[in-house]
């Protein structure tokens, strides 16, 4: 409690309208600082707003939007793009460098700053933030991007209703008895042993790229809605993209997250159930996923072209 008061004083002295996320005393595990308390005592300014995340995605009520085209992922194949992995006490975060994303119905180019993960308590207790038709996945990865024009200036991004673009990827248990798979996720999880305590960081020296981690996902198929940060201070500045295909990761790798990293030092509890409760539904748009019919159309055009060629037209 002393710590909580100390943090609040620091925030008040800072004189800004809100505190940066990391300076607000919030948590997942305790009623006094957990998600149920965010809209009231912990961070009421935005956490009780009207476009809060995460949400359940009802696939039947999502409306198709033909402006949701393919993304352009720049440098996502670069094996030096992941720099540092950190235990923040609330998640495991990986800093990114020289990566951008554009297209995908976004209004401008965004710089990819970091990704982090949300999880439950092993593969048996799912912990994704978004759900689809009420189904929760074991884990969820969030790639956090800021409008490139803001040059990493958080204050500017938090003043823009689309200042951040978050890319959400579900993680599902891989079929069969595979272990240590895929190699990219096994490598990433191997760093957890080096960051067991809150505040610990490690340099990522392995050659893994974002493309390696996003294996098996058709990035042309996604949902879109306008929402918020899912952690205090819950600012409503996020264009959300939630991809339809999950990343498939073997059970042993998923289970390493809830069994390795602590919320404080080694004597503190393990980091588990690191997700916010669902917020009221938002209007969700979806990509037009008619690849089957567009193939048919392309085939028809080729057939017509062939007929023209054959008949001399
Ligand atoms: Zn997140």
Domain ranges of the chain: 43-287
Ligand 1 centroid, distance to 239 Cα (angstroms): 13
Q: For domain 43-287, give the CATH superfamily.
A: Alpha carbonic anhydrase (3.10.200.10)
What would the two tokens of residue 190 be?
């191997």
Give the CA angle between residues 145, 121, 165 to the nearest 5°.
10
Residues with Cβ within 8 Å of residue 133, at least 6 apart in sequence: 56, 57, 58, 59, 60
pLDDT digits (tens, 9 = 90+) for 32-56: 999 999 999 999 999 999 999 999 9
What pTM was computed for the model? 0.87
pLDDT tens digit string along 136-173?
999 999 999 999 999 999 999 999 999 999 999 999 99
C-alpha 27 to ligand 1 mean position (Å)? 13
Which residues fall inside 5 Å of ion ligand 1, going by CB? 142
Token couple for 248: 């498939």
**Ligand 1 mean position to 276 CA, how many Å?**
9
What's the CA gap between 65 and 85, in Å, rounded? Answer: 36
Question: Residue 194's closest CA among 141, 250, 256?
Answer: 256
């Amino acid at each position: 409690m002393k710590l909580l008061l100390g943090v609040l004083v620091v925030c008040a002295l800072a004189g800004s309208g809100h505190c940066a996320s990391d300076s607000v005393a919030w948590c997942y595990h305790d009623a006094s600082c957990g998600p149920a308390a965010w809209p009231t005592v912990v961070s009421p300014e935005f956490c009780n707003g009207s476009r809060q995340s995460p949400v359940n995605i009802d696939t039947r009520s999502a409306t198709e939007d033909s402006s949701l085209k393919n993304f352009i992922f720049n440098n996502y194949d670069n094996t030096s793009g992941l720099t540092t992995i950190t235990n923040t006490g609330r998640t495991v975060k990986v800093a990114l460098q020289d990566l951008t994303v554009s297209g995908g119905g976004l209004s401008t180019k965004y710089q990819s700053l970091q990704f982090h993960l949300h999880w439950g308590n092993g593969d048996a207790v799912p912990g994704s933030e978004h759900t689809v038709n009420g189904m929760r996945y074991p884990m969820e990865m969030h790639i956090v991007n800021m409008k490139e024009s803001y040059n990493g200036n958080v204050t500017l991004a938090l003043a823009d209703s689309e200042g951040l673009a978050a890319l959400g990827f579900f993680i599902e248990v891989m079929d069969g008895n595979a272990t240590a798979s895929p190699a990219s996720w096994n490598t990433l999880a191997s760093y957890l042993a080096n960051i067991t305590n809150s505040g610990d960081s490690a340099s990522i020296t392995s050659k893994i790229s974002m493309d390696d981690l996003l294996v098996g996902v058709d990035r042309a198929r996604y949902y879109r809605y306008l929402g918020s940060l899912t952690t205090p201070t819950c600012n409503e500045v996020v264009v959300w993209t939630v991809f339809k295909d999950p990343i498939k990761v073997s059970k042993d790798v998923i289970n390493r997250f809830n069994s390795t990293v602590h919320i404080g030092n080694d004597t503190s509890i393990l980091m588990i159930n690191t997700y916010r409760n669902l917020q009221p539904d938002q209007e969700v748009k979806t990509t037009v996923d008619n690849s089957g019919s567009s193939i048919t159309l392309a085939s028809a055009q080729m057939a017509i072209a062939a007929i023209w060629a054959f008949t001399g037209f």
